Amino acid sequence: MNPLIELTDVAKTFGQGADAVHAFGPVDLTIDDGDFISFLGPSGCGKSTLMLMVAGLLERTSGQIVLGGQPVDGPRTDIGIMFQDNTLVPWRTVRGNIELQLEMRGIDPTSAADRITVLLQSVHLQDFADRFPYELSGGMQQRAAFCQAMVHDPQIMLLDEPLGKLDAMTREQIRTDLQTLWMQQKPTVIFVTHSIEEAVQLSSRVAIITPRPGRVEKIIPIDLPFPRDFEVKNSPEFASYVRDIQEIFRGYGVI
C-alpha cells in the first residue's frame, strides 16, 4: 500500500535558548490508507503535539509531514479532528451541530441529510437528533462529536483522547461505536491514548512513544480479528499484547 501520511525527521521544541524544551522527535513514520494507529505513551511524551503537527495546527521545529502527497504547511480542513472536550455548541441541536461542520466548509447540509441520518444511527443517536447537548449524557455528547468529525467524509481522522473523561462503562460502549464507524467508513485514524487496553482493542498498529522527548520506540501490529468484542478481549492473544506493552512501559519506569 502507498503511505497516506509520511513523517520525516519531525521534531518539536518549545521555547528558545536555556528555556527550550525538546518535546518530541525526531520521528520517521509512515501510515497507510485505512490504518488505525494508536499513539500510546505516558503523559508529557508529545503524543498530542504530534497529532497537532499532523493537523497543521502546530508548527513543527524541523522535518516534513506529507498528507496525501501534499506537504502540511498550515491547518487542514479536509481532516476530521476530535479532542477530549467536545466542540458541540449549546444553542444547536445534535443534528444542527453536525450540520455546522458542513456549513463551515461551505457545504449545503441538505446535500448530506442521508449521511447524517446514517451516522446518527451508527452511534444509536437517531432518536436524539433534535435534542440539545445539555439534554444528553457525556457519552452521548461524545457520540455526537464523532458524527461531527465524520460528516464531511474525511480520509483522515485525528482523535486526541476522546474517551479520557468518560466512566469505564461509557468508554467501553463508545469504543464499540468508534470501531463500528471505522469498519464501515475505513478512514485513516490516528488515536492518542494512555490506555494500553484501549489501544490494543481498537488499533491495527500501536506506536509506542517514549517518555519526553517522545520518539517512536516501536510499532506493534495487532493481529486480532475485527470486531474486537468481549470474546476477543478475553482471549489469551489479547492479554499477551497487553502484557508485552506493559513490560515496555515498565522498562521506561512509568508503570
The CA distance from 138 to 116, in Å, is 20
Q: pTM for the full model?
A: 0.88
Residues 137-147 have a mean pLDDT of: 88
| 8-34: pLDDT as tens digits | 999 999 988 888 888 888 999 999 999
Q: What per-residue confidence (pLDDT) applies to 129?
A: 94
Q: Chain-centre distance of CA 123, in angstroms?
A: 17
Q: Tell me if 190 sits within 8 A of 158, measured CB to CB.
A: yes
| 203-227: pLDDT as tens digits | 999 999 998 888 998 999 999 999 9
- Backbone φ and ψ for 159, nearest 5 degrees, come out as -120, 110
pLDDT at 178 over 90: no
**Residues 6+ away with beta carbon under 8 Å from 39:** 47, 50, 51, 190, 191, 192, 193, 207, 209
DSSP letters, 95-148, are HHHHHHHHHHTT--GGGGHHHHHHHHHHTT-GGGTT--GGGS-HHHHHHHHHHH
Three-class HEC string of 6-22: EEEEEEEEECCHHHCEE
C-alpha cell at 231: 470474546
Antiparallel, parallel or unpaired: β 156-160 and 80-82: parallel
CA distances from 66 to 34, 58, 120, 141 (A): 16, 14, 32, 32
Confidence bin at 1 (pLDDT 50/70/90):
low
Of 143-147, 155-159, 163-167, 194-198, the one with minimum mean pLDDT is: 163-167
Secondary structure letter of residue 83 according to DSSP: -
Please name every residue paired with 193 in a beta bridge, in sequence order, or none if there are none: 40
Instruction: Delineate the domains of the chain, giving CATH numbers in brackets.
Output: 1-79+187-255 (3.40.50.300)
